[in-house]
Amino acid sequence: MHSALVRVQNVFGFFTTVAFTVAAVIALSTFINPQFPSASVQLRNVQVVRGRPHYYSYKKEEYAHIKFDLDTDLSTLFNWNTKQVFLYLKAIYPSTRASEPASEAIIWDAIIPAASAPWHQNHYIHPNPKKSQTKSKAKPKKNDKAAKKPSEELLYKRGELHLNNQRPKYQITDISGKLQNRTDVVLELGWNVQPWVGALVWANKVDFGVWEGLKGGVSPKFSFPEIGGKKKTEDLGTEKGKEGHRLVVGEEVPIRKDRG
């Protein structure tokens, strides 16, 4: 410690030790935070359609389009060390050969930020069931910063989701390209808790100390129907063709008639 340079090195060296130790203690402190997640997943509608993986493909594959209800309370996953929770819904169906493990495919996911996380465009915004489905004509201006910021008042508690008749984000297909008439399909909820410091934690069903395993989170078994067949008669909710559009003289944008 005789010269300034040596003192700089000593102080910085001990600082790294302290920083690592504090980070380790913070990572361990999450284990004394009790958590008891619960979830309920229900199938709403499933349809299998034939399509191409991309426009110029000669191969045709079968795609499943699964709509679901999800009610979950993951608010206890958010402690002081949580940055965000990556939530996903898997469709799991057994393989055609008994020796092979079941196939899993994600049909929907969401990034749920903690309160301490800075705003990001990929963060999940819970759909508001009270708002009407039709989009309002008055779009927010691009330089309006207040419109871009997330509204501070959340619809539900942080980590609580109530999705009704939710459309999937991803249509899934099998490696064989065949998906119709497959049985014993279930939907299962999973997540990753991404902390500020420490290890990535996955969803699990077992109790660990004050951490309780996930209650529920698996839907009843169902089957993929035949192509063209529907499990329940319901509109897929996809966009209709151009018949709703009218070009009006003097108007720049086509007016869309109410889809009803």
Handedness of CA 107, 216, 233, 227 (dihedral sign): positive
CB closer to other proteins out of 116 and 183: 116
Among positions 8, 154, 210, 236, the unique one binding other proteins when judged by CB under 8 A: 8
Token pair of 141 as six digits: 């201006």
The minimum distance between CB 209 and other proteins, in angstroms, equals 18
Can residue 116 be called a binding residue for other proteins (CB under 8 A)? yes
Token pair of 2 as six digits: 């005789």
| Beta-carbon contacts of residue 106 (< 8 Å; ≥ 6 apart) | 88, 89, 90, 91, 170, 172
Can residue 18 be called a binding residue for other proteins (CB under 8 A)? yes
* Contact set for other proteins, span 223-242 (CB under 8 A): none
Can residue 26 be called a binding residue for other proteins (CB under 8 A)? yes
Can residue 175 be called a binding residue for other proteins (CB under 8 A)? no
Determine the Cα–Cα distance for residues 186 and 172; give it in Å rounded to an integer: 14
Please give the single-letter amino acid code of residue 232. Answer: K
| Category of 209 on φ-ψ map: left (φ > 0), alpha (ψ -120 to 50) or beta | left
In terms of DSSP bridges, do strands 215-216 and 38-51 run parallel, antiparallel, or are they unpaired? parallel
The minimum distance between CB 240 and other proteins, in angstroms, equals 48
CB closer to other proteins out of 24 and 255: 24
| DSSP per-residue letters across 82-122 | EEEEEEEEEEEE--SSTTSPPEEEEEEEEEEE-TTSPP-TT
Residues in the chain: 260
The one segment of 5-13, 128-136, 163-171, 176-184 that binds other proteins by CB under 8 A: 5-13
Determine the Cα–Cα distance for residues 242 and 235; give it in Å rounded to an integer: 17
The minimum distance between CB 168 and other proteins, in angstroms, equals 34
CB closer to other proteins out of 13 and 250: 13
Can residue 196 be called a binding residue for other proteins (CB under 8 A)? yes
Contact between 188 and 90 under an 8 Å Cβ cutoff? The reply is yes
Size of the site for other proteins (CB under 8 A): 24
Can residue 27 be called a binding residue for other proteins (CB under 8 A)? no
* Contact set for other proteins, span 36-95 (CB under 8 A): 79-81
The one segment of 2-10, 90-98, 236-244, 251-259 that binds other proteins by CB under 8 A: 2-10
Contact positions toward other proteins, by CB under 8 A?
1-5, 7-8, 10-11, 14-15, 18-19, 21-22, 25-26, 29, 79-81, 116, 196-197
